Amino acid sequence: MTSSRLIYAVITSILISLTTLMTSAAHADLAEGKNALLVNFGFTHGGAALGLDFENGFNRTFGLGGYFRIDPDDQTLGARGITTVGAFIRPHFSRQQWDLYVSPGFGILFVKPTDNSGSQTLLGPSWAIGLLYDFTPAISFGAESMSFASWFGKDVYRGYLQTDLMAKFRFIF
């Protein structure tokens, strides 16, 4: 067998395996009473961002949970750093292996300004929208865009603050 035929056979096997996995994957709803841990990795204006969510399936159509995000600052680009922790409600709109959700929330934001004038502690809402694909009954992968705003704090920080885009891995247990 020549090397090109071997490579072709390996690629074909991988594609058939992935197709079988995707078509036979069970629907991974976050059922009532189940928990989910979501690991986030993405990018903001300041660089690589990290996050972690915990969600409890409160009802068959929505979950309640909390989030933690670290969006770094970059003085040269003028990007403020935000570390935030908060709570959310997350209605799910699931169809087959796809899970579309919206996630309004509220949290505490620790903002590091671009002028190094000292960090500020703020309170405000968050808003997220995401889409996950269920690969197995317990594992999903997708993306989420989350925005932060401030209602309480210094006047210079009132209103929209930042949006991040994250890849999400969901583990249901």
Q: For 119-171, write each residue's pLDDT tens digit.
A: 888 999 999 999 999 999 899 999 999 999 998 777 667 788 888 899 999 99
Mind listing the pLDDT tens digit for each residue in 58-117? 887 899 999 999 988 877 777 788 899 999 999 999 888 999 999 999 999 998 877 667
pLDDT score at 16 = 54
Q: Which domains does the chain have, with CATH numbers?
A: 3-172 (2.40.160.20)
Calpha distance 10→95 (Å, rounded): 32
| pLDDT for 7 beyond 80 | no
pLDDT score at 43 = 84
Nearest to 130 by CA among 51, 77, 58, 73: 51
pLDDT score at 112 = 82
Instruction: Report the predicted TM-score, pTM, of the whole model to 2 decimal places.
Output: 0.77
Alpha helices per DSSP H over the chain? 3-24
pLDDT score at 67 = 97
Nearest to 121 by CA among 64, 161, 66: 161
pLDDT score at 12 = 55
Nearest to 58 by CA among 38, 36, 37, 33: 33
Q: How far is CA 12 from CA 6, 7, 45, in A?
A: 10, 8, 39
pLDDT score at 37 = 96
- Here the tokens at position 76 are 């040269």
